[in-house]
Amino acid sequence: MQKSTLLITGAGTGIGLETLKLAHKNGHPVIAAIHHKEEASALPRGVAWMAGDLTQPSFRKKLIATYAKKVDTLVLNAGHGESGPLIEQPEARIRKVFEVNVMASILLAQGFGQVMAKRRSGRLVFVTSMAGFITLPNLGAYSGTKHALEAMADALRMELAPFGVSVASVEPGLIYTGFNERMAASKFGWLTSKSLFAAHIKTWAKRDRALPSRSYPVNKAARTLFKVATQKSPKAHNPTPALYGPLGFVFHHLPTSLQDRFFRNGGM
């Protein structure tokens, strides 16, 4: 039986790369969409790849034209992280995180999804985040992008079901890939001593250094993403590690005042 062909965005590093390796090891034809051509050196030998900026229409158009008819499952994994107090976050940084995480993903999903709908088969998998369910201080913009993706994935799932196209989301929590660490550090690129939050900067930096010790191995998320991308009937929402699902449910059923008290000092 022929195995499904996967195209994974953001496949040069982190969860995307580990998922691609797992799919390749299990005999699935895989295609990597990477940001920089230098990332191709980390890919398994013989894997097809294309490098470029997903926020650029020309690159998305090239990916769609080259691979849409060949791909069974599109894994929308590429993402960008920004942290810091939203009230002061520079406009350019907010726009970038929305352009990468939301607009690039949805527009690529449209291109591939329309081809899938016409042939009456296919799957779109959005890699969102537990930040798409739980919003932390200092992660307002990033969480906003992930909330948006969750909503759009839900809409697409219902819209495309009559055409035989399935849509699912994978929601990683703290996974040790370097992504969360880079996102946590991003605020220090623009926060200054004039910030409303200047008194907290040293405390935030100390807490951020503990992120690796609080994170789960990347293979946990990769196994979940591979399963959702290839199994016959995946769940619509797939927190990873799985324990984040019940935790998210519990927190959402706490009074808002308790949620705020718990998370007020827990943002990046």
d(C-alpha 113, C-alpha 122), whole Å: 8
Q: Kindly name the residue from 146, 176, 187, 220 that is annotated as catalytic.
A: 146
The CA dihedral of 32, 123, 53, 11, to the nearest 10 degrees, is -30
Phi, psi (deg, nearest 5) at residue 87 = -65, -20
Long-range contacts of 57-61 (CB under 8 A, 24+ apart): 57/107, 60/104, 60/107, 60/108, 60/111, 61/111
Q: Is the dihedral of CA 3, 5, 237, 128 positive or negative?
A: positive
Locate all alpha helices (DSSP H) within 161-254, ordered by sequence: 179-186, 201-208, 218-230, 244-252
What backbone phi and psi angles, to 5 degrees, belong to 234? -70, 160
Residue 244's closest CA among 167, 132, 147, 102? 132
**Has 146 been annotated as catalytic?**
yes
191 sits in the region (left: phi over 0; alpha: psi -120 to 50; else beta) called: beta
Residue 176 a catalytic site member: no
Q: In whole angstroms, give the CA distance from residue 34 to residue 48.
A: 11
- List 62, 69, 96, 142, catalytic entry: 142
* Helix or strand run (H / E) with residue 122: strand 122-127
Annotated catalytic residues are 142, 146
